[in-house]
Amino acid sequence: MNKIAVAKGDGIGPEIMDAVLTIFNAAKVPLEYDFVDMGKWVFDKGFNNGMTTQAQETIENLGILFKGPMETPKGKGVKSINVTARKTWNTYANKRTFQTLHGVDTVFSKAGIPIDVTIVRENIEDTYGGIEHMLTHDVALSRRFITRPGSAQVIRYAFEMAKKKGTKRITCGHKANIMKITDGLFLEVFYEIAKEYPELKADDVIVDDLCMKLVTRPDLFDVVVLTNLQGDIVSDLCAGLIGGLGFAPSANVGDHISIFEAVHGTAPDIAGKNLANPTALLLSGIGMLQHLGLMEAASSIENALLYTLESGVHTGDFGDKSKPSLSTTEFAQAIINNFGKKPQHNPRIDITDFETSCTVVSLDNNAMMESHDAIVEKIVGVDMFIESNVQPDQLAKKCLRHAGVKFKLVNISNRGTQVWPTGSKFTNLVNQYNARFESIDGEPLNQQDIIGLYVSLSGDFKICSLELLNMWGDKPSYSLAQGQ
């Protein structure tokens, strides 16, 4: 029998997890549970990642974590336990399926527009690295990492999933028109991988347009793959389309460890009152059973859930307000009472597994995911991020004194807008500039040249940060300032 790790979580977590496991037990799901210590209460005991060492070991040994929501401790510098878990175990694909549920009224269900959209969100990178610094008292910087191998992992997962599920269309949501290098890389990898799946119609939509299209014609989309932050926002939008967070399941899938949880949080306002809707966690659990290949148990529980929803049974957060709502435990019992019944709409059939199954392995080393690129690289300049509150002309005068024989000062920008050698007096400034220096004759520079410039400039300024300007072959690896 398969064994999985279970963490009940905080707030409504224990109530909804108990409800789901009661349903699993009544359905005789062939699973054993190892309950692990994880959550805000564990964090409060001094475990900074929100889990005990034993919990971490158990999860790494079993490969599957079924978890309730966990509270993010408030306070500066404290990271989310949920995000830490997803990143530590490289669960790179966050899959969230949003389907019309009969009995859950929405504007679309009333208009007869069916929804069946799967959002695949990259789960590790982007601004969720949480690498942030105050460069001056006024200027905060967040580093947004988008990597080629990280993008390839999640995009390949999305294509495989779409193919096995039999969907026709796969769409990449992005903002590559503005973030040309980061989102541009994600989009480039999307179309590279698309070539391996000619049977799928692969296209892309700019994320703001995607949001507009999703709220007007959600039925036009099948599978949508996005970077982390955009995927987070778009998936909550999709939760709204099908009736709210109470119906949004989520799977965090990795090669070795996968985490199944609801999209919603700990709902502190209703915690401990036996009022919470366990549907999202139950749907996540059904996804986990499919992932484990337990298709019969998955479909019989899903059919009972769909039948229960169709018959108008509901918790307080949805459904016909003229009919009394059920508590969490009563709702779970209603589903158990409906075992063996088939819903009128979308009955689930016992299909073959379309997920990749987790194989439990022990690893000796961290995997290095390098993509081998033979392109010649050379340093052609540097962006120096300088703290200063003088006007651009005065700053340029000082910078020019430090350029020496190897560098020329190409331009100065402020918040990404060029302010020297040309610019506008209408551009507001903050006390942090980017002075771009390039090699005088296009000759390659080395790191010692850059350090030499840094040392010279530091006689006059505080340099908050620097970035090398590289050429990969004949392609610059950096963006231009607005107006450059």
Q: How far is the CB of 59 from ligand NAI (least distance, A)?
A: 15
264 binds ligand NAI (CB under 6 A): yes
Residue in 18, 119, 37, 117 with CA at minimum distance from that of residue 81: 37
Please tell me the distance from the alpha carbon of residue 469 to that of residue 371, in angstroms, as a whole number.
21
CA distance 447 to 380: 11
C-beta of 7 vs 409, nearer to ligand NAI: 7
Q: Which is nearer to ligand NAI, 78 or 451 (CB)?
A: 78
The angle, 0 to 180 degrees and rounded to 10, between the axes of the packed helices 279-291 and 13-26 is 50
Cβ atoms within 10 Å of 418's Cβ, excluding its own: 22
Which is nearer to ligand NAI, 24 or 247 (by Cβ)?
Answer: 247
Least distance in angstroms from the C-beta of 111 to ligand NAI: 25
Each residue 325-364 as x (binds ligand NAI by CB under 6 A) or -, in order, gives ----------------------------------------
Options 129, 265, 452, 483; binder of ligand NAI; rule CB under 6 A? 265
319 binds ligand NAI (CB under 6 A): no
Shortest distance in whole angstroms from residue 84 CB to ligand NAI: 11
CB of 236 to ligand NAI, least distance (A): 10
- Please state the closest distance from residue 212 (CB atom) to ligand NAI, in A: 24
Residue 292 gets which letter from DSSP?
A: T
Size of the site for ligand NAI (CB under 6 A): 20
CA torsion angle 87 92 97 98 (round to 10): 60
- CB-count exposure of residue 217 (10 Å: 0-12, 13-18, 19+): exposed
Q: Which is nearer to ligand NAI, 43 or 385 (CB)?
A: 43
- Amino acid 399 reads C
Is 87 a binding residue for ligand NAI by CB under 6 A? The answer is: no
The dihedrals phi and psi of 260, each to the nearest 5 degrees, come to -115, 130
Q: How far is the CB of 267 from ligand NAI (least distance, A)?
A: 4
The structure tokens listed for 358 are 């987790």
Q: Which amino acid is at 260?
A: F
CA–CA distance, 417 with 310 (Å, rounded to integer): 55
Q: Report strand pairing: 223-226 vs 116-122.
A: parallel
CA 170 – CA 35 distance, rounded (Å): 37
Q: Which is nearer to ligand NAI, 252 or 413 (CB)?
A: 252
Minimum CB distance to ligand NAI, residue 264 (Å)? 3
Say whether residue 317 binds ligand NAI (CB under 6 A).
yes
| Binds ligand NAI (CB under 6 A): choice among 115, 176, 225, 270 | 270
31 binds ligand NAI (CB under 6 A): no
Based on CB atoms, which residue is closest to ligand NAI, 129 or 483? 129
> Which is closer to ligand NAI, CB of 275 or CB of 471?
275
Output phi, psi for 445, to 5 deg: -105, 165
Please list, in sequence order, all residues whose beta carbon lies within 8 angstroms of the beta carbon of residue 159, skipping any fewer than 6 positions away.
Answer: 170, 193, 194, 196, 197, 200
Contact (Cβ atoms closer than 8 angstroms) between residue 216 and residue 107: no
Hey, which residues between 46 and 75 contact ligand NAI (CB under 6 A)?
69-72
Positions in the binding site for ligand NAI (CB under 6 A): 12, 69-72, 82, 245-246, 261, 264-270, 276-277, 280, 317
